Structure 1
């Protein structure tokens, strides 16, 4: 079973995260929706829980079955993480050369967020387990770190609780609720409590899959289309206006979006499920991990070296150039990096995109 519409959503969410990191530009600074689009990281977590439950819940039966599951996830996550980490290192070396021989840079080279201990932590996917005072090296990789360990914890819990989802969720959500209350409703964490944030959303995704497909499917196409349009509108409004104290509610909303659109019964979901949008799902992981290094390179090139003016036209050209370069790099990394450890080349695989993507 393919979840083509929500996979397209994943690509769109990745693009919104890119725009979030461009909100310092006057061109985008006035949008409340873009200013809070980093919350779509939780959409990735919820969707991971949904997809992992669909593809692996029945496969994880004992301790022995955990190893192939974890190895498979590591092979899917790590190659691109490593390559983007090395790209950031190369760019920092380039900045060192520019700073010393061309023009002094305002931001220090090899600052605290790019030192040797944090580099080693990134190599071991431990950079976001509250070891440092902020995100390090390739910033978005914090979510890959915590997601990998969430997979491990989830698999062990399935075996420990013998797939008693009610018991597992009762204990887990009781602890998570205590954490959320202690932090005034906020789940907006990354380098410190990102693992808790990921686990919370991942379990909601698991429940969404387990419960969502048990709901009666009595609506016709027109009714589904109306529900999809209303849900999209409400999601845009919610993302634009939520506060940190309400952030714990956002994964619940994303779970509803995923359940509704995974059925592909309405006009909007059918449009998103079309083959013309399939590339968004395929490239979403590369979009997400590639974008910060591309933005940094383009910022140095256009605004520091070429002196592109911060006019509406100049910033529009900059944003468009960034998106094009991110897309081109992502096409390359998807084909030649992401699936390098997979047993079947991407051009010949018949596995659904939704099962292959990690976010």
Structure 2
């Protein structure tokens, strides 16, 4: 079973993260919603916990079942991560040529966030386990790093503590509560405490799925539609107004959103579950990992080389070209990169979905 509505919601969240990384533009600088849209990374984590519990909870029963699960997740995450990492390396090399032979760049080439050591760490998906004091290379990949190791920790806990799962969950949330209280309610971390942030939201997603299975309400179309509209409005309002001290509440809100929209019984969820919006879910992972490369390339080309002025018109042109570029690159990576380690039958299925998404 695929939760199509929340999958499309994930695509919308990925687009908001893209806009978040363009908030330095005068055209977007005053938009409070965009300025806080990095919180949607926690939506990804909650949804991941929800979906992984749905698809793998009953499959991971002993230590032998952990290996195929981890291998499958590695094959799903790593190809695009490696591809975008190499793209960033290629672009940084291009910047080196421009800096030395065309025009002097204001930002240093191969700076502290792009060292050989951090590159090797990115290759092993360890770049966000507290080894560095900033995000490195392809910035958004910090979440892929912590999510991969969260999968491993979750699988181990399922095997070792399945009979006492409530106890281990209670202990985990006690430790997480201690961390949250000690850090004044904030979970907005990435390169330093990103793993803890991911585990917190992932476990909420797991519990959200268990709640959905056990206490699903039989709402009609209009009741579901009203609930979805209220939750959507509450999400917009909460993203606009939350502070770092309140950020720990956002994954809880996202859990309610996922529970409600996964039913696909209301007007909004039915719209999101439609084939016309399916491409948002299909391309969301590529959108997320590809976008900073496109943003950096277009910033260099448009504003540094072509010297497009930083007027509203120039910045709007930049935004539109970036969004189009991210979409085109994501179509390519979805078709040819993301599933390159998958089985032939799986690749055929995904290629068919990508062709439909391009229509």
Shift >6 Å, 4+ stretches: none
CA distance in 2, matches of 1:93, 1:62: 46
Q: Is the 1:187–1:197 contact (alpha carbons within 8 Å) kept by the matching residues of 2? A: yes
Q: Partner residue of 2:329? A: 329
Structure 1 segment 237-252 matched on structure 2, within 5 A: 237-252=237-252
Offset at 1:309?
1.2
Q: 1:297 to 1:52 in 2, by over 3 A?
A: same
Q: Partner residue of 1:151? A: 151
CA distance in 2, matches of 1:73, 1:31: 36
Offset at 1:166?
1.1
Q: Partner residue of 1:276? A: 276
- Number of residue-to-residue matches in the alignment: 352
Offset at 1:91?
0.3
Specify the SS of the correspondent of 1:112.
coil
CA distance in 1, matches of 2:171, 2:305: 55
Offset at 1:163?
5.0
Offset at 1:314?
1.3
Q: Partner residue of 1:73? A: 73
Q: Is the 2:228–2:268 contact (alpha carbons within 8 Å) kept by the matching residues of 1? A: yes
CA distance in 2, matches of 1:160, 1:174: 19
Structure 1 segment 199-214 matched on structure 2, within 5 A: 199-214=199-214
C-alpha distance after superposition, 1:234-281 (max 9, x if no partner): 100000010000000000000000000000010000000000011111
CA distance in 1, matches of 2:164, 2:152: 17
C-alpha distance after superposition, 1:86-138 (max 9, x if no partner): 00000000000000000000000000000000000000000001111100000
Q: Partner residue of 2:56? A: 56
CA distance in 2, matches of 1:19, 1:85: 21
Q: Is the 1:335–1:346 contact (alpha carbons within 8 Å) kept by the matching residues of 2? A: no
Q: Partner residue of 1:293? A: 293
Q: Partner residue of 1:357? A: none
Structure 1 segment 72-151 matched on structure 2, within 5 A: 72-151=72-151
CA distance in 2, matches of 1:156, 1:225: 39
Q: Is the 1:146–1:194 contact (alpha carbons within 8 Å) kept by the matching residues of 2? A: yes
C-alpha distance after superposition, 1:207-240 (max 9, x if no partner): 0000122224232110110111111001000000
TM-score (norm 1): 0.96
C-alpha distance after superposition, 1:271-300 (max 9, x if no partner): 000000111111000000000011000000
CA distance in 1, matches of 2:219, 2:62: 39
Offset at 1:347?
5.6
Offset at 1:334?
0.5
CA distance in 2, matches of 1:61, 1:178: 30
CA distance in 2, matches of 1:130, 1:86: 22
Q: Partner residue of 1:356? A: none
C-alpha distance after superposition, 1:289-341 (max 9, x if no partner): 00001100000000001111111111111100000000000000011000000
Greater RCO structure (CA 8 Å; 6+ sep): 1
1:267 aligned onto 2:287: no
CA distance in 2, matches of 1:349, 1:300: 37
C-alpha distance after superposition, 1:127-161 (max 9, x if no partner): 00111110000000000000000000000000110
Q: Partner residue of 1:228? A: 228
Q: 1:216 to 1:148 in 2, by over 3 A?
A: closer
Structure 1 segments unaligned to the other structure (5+ residues): 354-359
TM-score (norm 2): 0.96
Aligned-residue CA RMSD (Å):
1.3
Q: Partner residue of 1:39? A: 39
Q: Partner residue of 2:311? A: 311
Q: Partner residue of 2:175? A: 175
Structure 1 segment 12-23 matched on structure 2, within 5 A: 12-23=12-23
Q: Is the 2:225–2:265 contact (alpha carbons within 8 Å) kept by the matching residues of 1? A: yes
Q: Is the 1:339–1:345 contact (alpha carbons within 8 Å) kept by the matching residues of 2? A: no
Offset at 1:162?
1.9
Offset at 1:205?
0.2
Specify the SS of the correspondent of 2:113.
helix
CA distance in 2, matches of 1:247, 1:272: 26
